[in-house]
Amino acid sequence: MIGVLVLAAGEGSRFRGNKLLARINGIPILGYVLRSLPQPRLIVAGKYAAEIIHEFPKEVVMYNPNWREGMSTSIKLGLRYFMDSEGILVALGDMPLITKETVEKILGNFSPDCSAVVPIHQGTWGNPVVLSRELYDEIWKLDGDTGAKKLLKTKNRLCFVECGEEVLIDVDTEADLDEVSRRLS
Amino acid sequence: MIGVLVLAAGEGSRFRGNKLLARINGIPILGYVLRSLPQPRLIVAGKYAAEIIHEFPKEVVMYNPNWREGMSTSIKLGLRYFMDSEGILVALGDMPLITKETVEKILGNFSPDCSAVVPIHQGTWGNPVVLSRELYDEIWKLDGDTGAKKLLKTKNRLCFVECGEEVLIDVDTEADLDEVSRRLS
C-alpha cells in the first residue's frame, strides 16, 4: 500500500488568506488536488486546519502544531500515520493542475527497484513524489523547511517519470492563481 | 514507547454544545485530562475539531471524518498513528478527575506479561487503559461504537490496577459537570 500525504500546512504568506481554499470555477485549489489522488490519504494542515476540515468533512485531516517550523514537520507526522506502507506519495496542496492520470503514471512507475519516483518536466524535478519505505529512517531526521528533495539528491536508484508542466506549477501568488485559472477554464 | 490516544470525537449529545471545552475553574475539561497525560500523544476529534485545535494549539489533533460511526473509528485512526509503539494508552477526553499519579500508576503496571492494563475501582473497570501491541490486529476489526472493553473481556493476561473513583467518573450531563466541579474545587 502507498499512503497519500497531502501537504496543506503552509501559511501561504505570499497570498492573501488561505490560498488552498481560493476557488477556481467554484472548486477550491485543494479540491482539485484531492480529486486527482487515491485513498488512503491524509491531509496535514496548519494555520488553516479548521477551514480545511470545514470544507472537506470527509477527509482525515491532521493538525500539525509545529506548522511554523516548516514542511519537514508535516512530512514526519504523515509518515507516522503511514508507517506500515511500502511508500508514501507526497503531494502539495497548491498544485491544482495535477490530474489523476499523472498521479497514476507516477504511482505506476514505483517498484522495489526505486528508492523514490520523481516526476520531471524537461529536466526539472516536480511533484508529487513517491518515497519508498527504505527512506523513512532518513526522513525522520529532516528538520525545518526541508522537503524530501534535498535527501533525494543524495540517492541512487531514483526512478524518473517524464510528465507535463502540471508537475511544476504551484500557486504561490495571486498572479499564479490567475494563470492557473486560465489553464483550468 | 507507549503512545497516548485521547478520544475527543464524541458529540456529547447529552450536553449542550461541546462538553470537552466546558470550563471548571477556567480550565476546559479536556485541559484537565491533557495535564495528566505524558507525550507522545494524539487527540482524535470529530464534530468539535476546529474548537479543540483553537483551544489547544500545541497538540497534534486528528480530525476523524467518521466520528458519527463511533469510538472504534477513532481508536483505529489513533492506532495507525502509533503503529510502531509497544502499546497505546487510550484516555477519554471527558474524565477530568484523572491525575498524573493515576496515569503513572497505570503505565507503571504495564509489562510484556500484560495484553492490557485495566484500572479498576471496587471491582468496576475504568479508564484509561493500556492496550499492548499484541491486540492491534484485533482492534483493527472493531467497528461502530465499540470500545476496546468488549475485546478485553475475551482476553487472558489482563493486568488490573486498583485506583480511586477518578477512573470511573466521566462528564456526560450538566449534573455530572456540577458534581465534578465540586470535586475539583
Cβ neighbour number for residue B68 with a 10 Å cutoff = 12
A52–chain B nearest CA distance, Å: 10
Helices marked H in chain A = 29-35, 49-55, 71-81, 100-108, 136-139, 149-152, 174-184
A119–chain B nearest CA distance, Å: 28
Count of domains forming chain A? 1
Q: Which triple of cell numbers denotes residue A160?
A: 524518473
**Measured between beta carbons, which residues in chain B are less than 8 angstroms from residue A62?**
60-63
What CATH number is given to the structural domain containing B162?
3.90.550.10
Q: Whole-number mean pLDDT of chain A? A: 95
Closest CA to B162 of B111, B117, B113: B117
pLDDT band at A46 (very low <50, low <70, confident <90, very high): very high
B145–chain A nearest CA distance, Å: 19
Query: Residue range B43-71: average pLDDT?
Result: 97
Q: Is B55 on the interface with A (CB under 8 A)?
A: no
- Provide the residue range defining the domain that includes A61: 2-184
**Measured between beta carbons, which residues in chain A are less than 8 angstroms from residue B61?**
49, 62-63, 65
Of the candidates A54, A63, A83, the beta carbon closest to that of B84 is on A83
Asked if B63 lies within 8 A of A53 by C-beta distance, the reply is: yes
Q: Is A169 on the interface with B (CB under 8 A)?
A: no
DSSP-derived 3-state class of residue A119:
strand
pLDDT band at B15 (very low <50, low <70, confident <90, very high): confident
Asked if B65 lies within 8 A of A59 by C-beta distance, the reply is: yes
What pTM does this model have? 0.94
pLDDT in tens, A57-113: 999 999 999 999 999 999 999 999 999 999 999 999 999 999 999 999 999 999 999
pLDDT in tens, B126-178: 999 999 999 999 999 998 888 788 899 999 899 999 999 999 999 999 999 99
Q: Is B77 on the interface with A (CB under 8 A)?
A: yes
